Chain A
Amino acid sequence: MNILLIAELQDGQIRPGSLSALTFARQVALETDGSVRWLLLGENLEAATTEAARYAPVLFCDAAIFAATAADSWAAAIAEVVSTGNFDLVVAASGTFAKDVITRSAGLLGGAMASDVLGHAFVDGRLQLQRGMYAGSILATVTLLGSPQIVTIQPSAYAAAEPGETPATVTNEQIDTSRLPQNIRIEHLESKRGGRPDVTEAAVVVSGGRAIKSSEDFESLVGGLADTLHAAAGSSRVLVDAGIAPNELQVGQTGKIVAPEVYLALGISGAVQHMAGMKNSKVIVAVNNDPDAPIFEVADYGMVGDVYEVVPQLIERLG
């Protein structure tokens, strides 16, 4: 298959999730005797195109209109590159960028799309894709009908790709940006994550749930242990709903899906919708004062205890 991989950039850098999507794309290319190219859209892309070219050939369009990711102009640009380049598979990493932009471009390209893919196989020459449904309690295997096909990859399901031996080509893609729709005006972005790693990208995630009573306690207990372990902070939905934790930390069916080396669940009871976001973590450690909490069913190590007593001791002992 002739594959176009849409790079997701953050602060001018390629996000690690895009490298996981590249691993999927390379495997499909290998299986189908196809090829993979990046598409980078943005402004001041020089550093990012150089970095991307270490992995695969790059198409890019550097223009002011792409400085912010407005779904209408981005989706139209992506659809145009896919059509003119005769790509038959479009790949990107899952996340709100992909849900907003890539899904809209799929709507312009005929709608053969699978989101948040966890695995794939070739059966009788057809690409079969696995994805979760019903908060991850059901795994569906599907194939897409028609061309092009659009697939977003759950980054935790694929290891990050390694660079190639020599840098690949970089090609300036001509897009007539004056013809793109521009009806979405992005005013500003407010981020509260602070200096901690992104919850989807960290090797260790420390996550807090209902047992945490205030923002201050969240910061001192969850944030404190996260900083001690150089980990990301995460949260269950209930704390975000209550305004105790910021939305970008929410792990679960409707938040972020994570699969770190170690996931520490502090005072999280284990609602199905939360477990959908973390149960594929390699090791799960849970602390909860309820010995019957469902979180212990998916945990490798569990301690029955009060996070307000246990966590300060962990910070001291592991610091």
Chain B
Amino acid sequence: MKILVPTKRVPDTDQRITIREDTHQIDDAQLPYIVNPFDAIAIEEAIRIREAGPQEVEIVAVGIGVAEYEKELRTALAMGADRALIIRCDAVLDPWNVAGILKRVVERETPDLVLMGKQAVDDDASQVGQFLAALLDWPQATFASNIECTEKGLRLEREIDAGIETVQIPLPAVVTADLRLNEPRYASLPSILKARKKPIEEIAIEELDYSIEPRVELIALAAPNQTRSCQRVDSVDRLVDALQEVLP
């Protein structure tokens, strides 16, 4: 089985995000970047599928973006991905075009499973996996919190608004990972050193014969001030008074 894990590099989630004067970009000059946490969960799950055996599993991590992306892809390789691809593209891409590029990658790599995070924690769109499944006409299982390989494909648990839904899908398929799927491992020092020798193939966007057609135009970014003035109460009596005043 071959598992393709698309990843995104995002600003570290403990960072305060500020906006540049042009209101079109965040100020990323000092921002440390990480692999999108949900994509790290997807990489971890791919490794666990391989470790569970008995089938042979190849894990290919994919990144789309700038040259600096290599660092995050090395993290994926250190965790346990076998090899990585970087699609070199300097343009800012919306989810539709990310999915379109990934479709080309899927056509080149012909994986049995595309396993990726349910959302990227920068734009919080939660669209790419579903777009890709639609473009490929593959079944999908979003928000997976448990994955089991079966003879017919996969049985998964999905975290949905109403509770936990159990579904079965055949392969090939697109699966998006939710928080509770697993806890990603930290790469050990030996595996980090080993990952330096693993191959990262660089592919120029032009090689994929894909033309970028934006679907989302950014007008402006703003950072709303959400702070409220908190009235402190110092006893349960006062808290009860406050609640009785505000409760509908």
Q: Across the interface, do B219 and A142 meet the contact criterion of CB distance under 8 Å?
A: yes
One of A30-38, A57-65, A112-120, A164-172 contacting the partner = A112-120
Q: Across the interface, do B130 and A104 meet the contact criterion of CB distance under 8 Å?
A: yes
State A100–B95 Cα separation when bound (angstroms): 15
Q: Across the interface, do A145 and B217 meet the contact criterion of CB distance under 8 Å?
A: yes
The residues of A that contact B169 with a CB separation of less than 8 Å are 183-185
Q: Across the interface, do B167 and A186 meet the contact criterion of CB distance under 8 Å?
A: yes
Residue in A135, A256, A310 whose CB lies within 8 Å of B239 = A310
The residues of B that contact A193 with a CB separation of less than 8 Å are 162-163
Q: Across the interface, do B221 and A140 meet the contact criterion of CB distance under 8 Å?
A: yes
Residue in A128, A185, A248, A287 whose CB lies within 8 Å of B162 = A248
Closest approach, in angstroms, between the C-beta of B139 and any C-beta of chain A? 4
Q: Across the interface, do A99 and B215 meet the contact criterion of CB distance under 8 Å?
A: no
* Interface band, chain B: 35 or more
State A104–B100 Cα separation when bound (angstroms): 13
Does B218 interact with chain A (Cβ within 8 Å)? yes
Binding site of B, secondary structure by majority: helix, strand, loop or mixed?
Answer: mixed
Interface residues of B in 149-205 (CB under 8 A from A): 155, 158-170, 173, 178-180
Give B239's nearest chain A residue, CB to CB.
A303
Q: Across the interface, do B161 and A95 meet the contact criterion of CB distance under 8 Å?
A: yes
State A46–B137 Cα separation when bound (angstroms): 32
Known: A103-B130, A104-B130. A285 touches B246 (CB 8 A): yes
Q: Encode A87-109 as 1/0 by CB contact (under 8 A) with B.
A: 00000000111011001111110
Q: Across the interface, do B227 and A297 meet the contact criterion of CB distance under 8 Å?
A: yes
The residues of A that contact B52 with a CB separation of less than 8 Å are none
Known: A128-B219, A141-B219. A248 touches B127 (CB 8 A): no
State A108–B133 Cα separation when bound (angstroms): 9
One of A20-28, A215-223, A239-247 contacting the partner = A239-247
Does B230 interact with chain A (Cβ within 8 Å)? yes
Does B78 interact with chain A (Cβ within 8 Å)? no
Does B224 interact with chain A (Cβ within 8 Å)? yes
Does B107 interact with chain A (Cβ within 8 Å)? no
Closest approach, in angstroms, between the C-beta of B15 and any C-beta of chain A? 9
Does B222 interact with chain A (Cβ within 8 Å)? yes
State A235–B145 Cα separation when bound (angstroms): 18
Binding site for A on B (CB under 8 A): 11, 13, 16-17, 19, 26, 38, 94-96, 99-100, 118-119, 121-127, 130-135, 137-143, 145, 155, 158-170, 173, 178-180, 213-224, 226-236, 238-240, 242-244, 246-248
Query: What are 7 of the A-B contact pairs (CB < 8 Å)?
Result: A96-B159, A96-B160, A97-B161, A107-B134, A113-B96, A144-B217, A317-B240
